[in-house]
Structure 1
Amino acid sequence: MSQETPRILLVTGPSGAGRLTAIHALEDLGYEIIDNLPLRLVPHLMNEAQAARPLALGIDVRNRDFSLGALIEALDTLSADPRWNVSLVYLDARADVLVRRYSETRRRHPLSPEETAEAGIARELEILQPVRSRADVLIDTSELTPHDLRAEISRWFDPETNGGLSVSVESFSFKRGTPRGLDMVFDGRFLNNPYWEPSLRKMNGRDPEVQAYVGADPNYEEFFSKVHDLVEFLLPQYSREGKSYLSIGFGCTGGQHRSVALAENLFKALATAGWQVSIRHRELERHASVHS
Structure 2
Amino acid sequence: MRKPELVVITGVSGAGKTVAMRAFEDLNYFTTDNLPAEMLPEYWRLMQKQNPVINAAVVIDLRSEKIFTDLSHVVQKMLNQNQDQAYQLKILFLDATDAELVARYKETRRHHPLSAGAGTLDDIKKERHLLDNIKSLATEVIDTSNFGPRELRKNILGQYGDRQAHSNLFKVQVMSFGFKYGAPLDADLVVDVRFLDNPYYDPKLRNHTGIDQDVYNYVWQSTGAEEFYQKELDLINWALPRYKTEGRSTLTIAFGCTGGQHRSVAFAHRMTQALQNNDWPVTEYHRDMQRRKDNGQQV
Separation (CA, whole Å) in 2 of partners of 1:95 and 1:105: 16
Separation (CA, whole Å) in 1 of partners of 2:31 and 2:148: 22
Q: Is the alpha carbon distance of 1:34 and 1:152 closer, same or farther for their aligned partners in structure 2, counting shifts above 3 Å?
A: same
Separation (CA, whole Å) in 2 of partners of 1:139 and 1:9: 14
Q: Which moved more, 1:43-52 or 1:115-124?
A: 43-52
Separation (CA, whole Å) in 2 of partners of 1:4 and 1:148: 26
Equivalent residue, structure 2, for 1:158: 161
Equivalent residue, structure 2, for 1:8: 6
Separation (CA, whole Å) in 1 of partners of 2:65 and 2:102: 24
Secondary structure at the counterpart of residue 64 of structure 2: coil
Separation (CA, whole Å) in 2 of partners of 1:63 and 1:34: 15
Equivalent residue, structure 2, for 1:42: 40
5 Å-filtered alignment, 1:120-269, equals 120-160=123-163
Shift of 1:159: 4.3
Counterpart amino acid of 2:54? R
Alpha-carbon contact 2:61-2:68 (below 8 Å) kept: no
Counterpart amino acid of 2:67? F
Q: Does residue 22 of the first structure (1) align with residue 33 of the second (2)?
A: no
Secondary structure at the counterpart of residue 118 of structure 2: coil
Counterpart amino acid of 2:104? R
Shift of 1:160: 4.8
Provide, for residues 214-254 of structure 1, a one-character-per-residue CA deviation record: whole Å limited to 9, x for no partner: xxxxxxxxxxxxxxxxxxxxxxxxxxxxxxxxxxxxxxxxx
Alpha-carbon contact 2:32-2:57 (below 8 Å) kept: yes
Separation (CA, whole Å) in 2 of partners of 1:27 and 1:160: 16
Provide, for residues 128-169 of structure 1, a one-character-per-residue CA deviation record: whole Å limited to 9, x for no partner: 12222221111110001110000000111114569xxxxxxx
Q: Which runs of 5+ in 2 are unaligned?
A: 166-299
Secondary structure at the counterpart of residue 8 of structure 2: strand
Alpha-carbon contact 1:29-1:159 (below 8 Å) kept: no
Separation (CA, whole Å) in 1 of partners of 2:164 and 2:116: 42
Alpha-carbon contact 2:95-2:141 (below 8 Å) kept: yes
Separation (CA, whole Å) in 2 of partners of 1:152 and 1:10: 16
Alpha-carbon contact 1:37-1:63 (below 8 Å) kept: no
Percent identity over the alignment?
33
Equivalent residue, structure 2, for 1:86: 89
Secondary structure at the counterpart of residue 9 of structure 1: strand
Q: Which moved more, 1:72-81 or 1:123-132?
A: 72-81
Provide, for residues 83-134 of structure 1, a one-character-per-residue CA deviation record: whole Å limited to 9, x for no partner: 3210110011011110111111111111114331111111101111222222
Shift of 1:64: 6.3
Equivalent residue, structure 1, for 2:227: none
Equivalent residue, structure 1, for 2:203: none
Q: Which runs of 5+ in 1 are unaligned?
A: 163-292
Equivalent residue, structure 1, for 2:119: 116
Separation (CA, whole Å) in 2 of partners of 1:44 and 1:100: 38
Q: Following TM superposition, where does structure 1 have runs of at least 4 consecutive aligned residues deviating by more than 6 angstroms?
A: none
Equivalent residue, structure 2, for 1:76: 76
Secondary structure at the counterpart of residue 66 of structure 1: helix
Counterpart amino acid of 2:44? M
Alpha-carbon contact 2:20-2:156 (below 8 Å) kept: yes
TM-score (norm 1): 0.51
Q: Is the alpha carbon distance of 1:4 and 1:76 closer, same or farther for their aligned partners in structure 2, counting shifts above 3 Å?
A: same
Counterpart amino acid of 1:34? T
Larger Rg: 2
Separation (CA, whole Å) in 1 of partners of 2:75 and 2:46: 17
Counterpart amino acid of 1:18? G
Equivalent residue, structure 1, for 2:53: 52
Provide, for residues 9-45 of structure 1, a one-character-per-residue CA deviation record: whole Å limited to 9, x for no partner: 0110000000110001110111100111111211221
Equivalent residue, structure 2, for 1:31: 29
TM-score (norm 2): 0.50
> Which of 95, 114, 119 is equivalent to 2:98?
95
Provide, for residues 172-223 of structure 1, a one-character-per-residue CA deviation record: whole Å limited to 9, x for no partner: xxxxxxxxxxxxxxxxxxxxxxxxxxxxxxxxxxxxxxxxxxxxxxxxxxxx
Counterpart amino acid of 2:8? L
